[in-house]
């Protein structure tokens, strides 16, 4: 049993490790030129150096901050709209169609507009993330609420739950698994939006670091930024998964 657990932890990492070793090997014997791809050790060294100067942590923090603020803003708006439209017929009829129409606009196509509106201000990046996150959260919250079993709600009424209790005990938990799907999806969009926004218009953040490094042909920094984005993406996915496991215990027999 224990043995199996270890195997599960190790086996998925064999392939990446082999790739990494081969990459390092071919770089060191010069098969891969460092003008095409720097070696893993170069990237790591660069990472250490930029950490020491404080440049890397500062930029990570800035990107993280934009991501979190945008996610919280877009997530809350999407969540509230989804809940209200899911629960109240009137709001549903008034708002849902319009929201579904707006949803068909790819949010990254707004970039030129956003730059005109906000310049390279913080607001530009946060706005793009907010818009990107809003729709998946909205859609999944809305559908989550719609698919809550009406018989459960009727049971709640018959057992004396008031409106607020009906929401906290039945509607919200019933919609939660769908909402969490939205959250995971939105986290992906959050990073993509941020990368694009920071690459195109920014003077700080990971995306800016990469763009800036391109101008000076600093391959190692570019690759480092890509790796950092990957790590941040993985990190948020792990958090989302942890939330799912924690709140979905009941569905596991």
Partner 1 sequence: MQPLIKVTDLSMEYGDKKVLENVSLEVYPAEFIAIIGKSGCGKSTFLRLLSGLETAVAGEISQNGQTVQGINSQARIMFQNDRFLPWKKNIGNVGIGLKGEWRKQARQLLKQVGLEGYEEQYPITLSGGQKQRVALARALIHQPEFLLLDEPLGALDALTRMEMQQLIATICREKQVTCMLVTHDVEEAVMLADRVIVLEDGQVKSEWQIDLPHERKRADSKFRNYVEQLLKEILV
Cα 119 to Cα 116, 126, 197, distances in angstroms: 6, 12, 11
Question: Which of the stretches 44-52, 81-89, 132-140, 154-162 binds partner 1 when contact is defined by CB under 8 A?
Answer: 154-162
Q: Which among 230, 221, 208, 234 is positioned nearest to 44, based on CA atoms?
A: 221
Cα(229)–Cα(208) distance, rounded to whole angstroms? 12
Q: By CB under 8 A, tell whether 244 contacts partner 1.
A: no
Of 12, 15, 31, 151, which lies in the binding site for partner 1, with binding defined by CB under 8 A? 151
Among 93, 163, 165, 241, binds partner 1 (CB under 8 A): 165
Residue of 20, 25, 33, 154 interacting with partner 1 (CB under 8 A): 154
Question: Residue from 158, 215, 217, 246 that binds partner 1 (CB under 8 A)?
Answer: 158
Q: Six-digit token pair at 172?
A: 């919200």
For partner 1, which is the closer residue by CB, 47 or 156? 156
Smallest distance, partner 1 to C-beta of residue 151, A: 6
Rounded CA gap, 61 and 25, in Å? 33
Q: How far apart are CA 230 and CA 157, in angstroms?
A: 47
Give 61-123 as a 3 state SS string: HHHHHHHHHHHHHHHHHHHHHHHHHHHCHHHHHHHHHHHHHHHCCCHHHHHHHHHHHHCCCHH
- Residue among 93, 157, 163, 241 that touches partner 1 (CB under 8 A): 157
Q: Which of residues 175 and 209 has its CB atom nearest to partner 1 in the complex? A: 175
**Token representation of residue 183:** 């959250």
Are the C-beta atoms of residues 74 and 131 closer than 8 Å to each other?
A: yes
83 near partner 1 (CB under 8 A): no
173 binds partner 1 (CB under 8 A): yes
List 169, 214, 226, 227, residue binding partner 1 (CB under 8 A): 169
Q: Which residues are near partner 1 by CB under 8 A?
A: 151-152, 154-161, 165, 169-170, 173-174, 176, 247, 249-251, 253
């Amino acid at each position: 049993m224990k043995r199996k657990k270890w195997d599960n932890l190790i086996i998925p990492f064999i392939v990446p490790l082999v790739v990494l070793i081969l990459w390092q090997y071919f770089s060191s014997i010069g098969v891969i030129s460092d003008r095409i791809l720097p070696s893993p050790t170069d990237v790591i060294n660069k990472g250490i150096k930029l950490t020491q100067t404080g440049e890397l942590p500062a930029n990570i923090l800035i990107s993280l901050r934009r991501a979190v603020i945008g996610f919280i803003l877009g997530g809350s708006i999407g969540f509230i709209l989804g809940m209200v439209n899911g629960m109240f017929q009137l709001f549903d009829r008034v708002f849902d169609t319009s929201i579904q129409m707006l949803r068909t606009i790819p949010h990254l196509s707004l970039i030129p507009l956003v730059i005109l509106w906000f310049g390279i201000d913080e607001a530009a990046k946060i706005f793009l993330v907010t818009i990107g996150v809003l729709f998946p959260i909205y859609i999944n919250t809305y559908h989550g609420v719609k698919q809550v079993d009406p018989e459960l709600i009727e049971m709640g009424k018959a057992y004396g739950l008031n409106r607020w209790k009906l929401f906290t005990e039945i509607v919200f938990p019933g919609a939660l698994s769908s909402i969490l799907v939205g959250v995971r999806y939105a986290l992906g969009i959050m990073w993509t939006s941020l990368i694009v926004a920071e690459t195109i218009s920014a003077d700080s953040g990971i995306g800016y670091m990469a763009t800036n490094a391109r101008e000076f042909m600093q391959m190692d920094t570019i690759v480092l930024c890509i790796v950092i984005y990957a790590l941040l993406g993985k990190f948020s996915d792990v958090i989302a998964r942890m939330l799912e496991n924690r709140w979905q215990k009941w569905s596991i027999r």
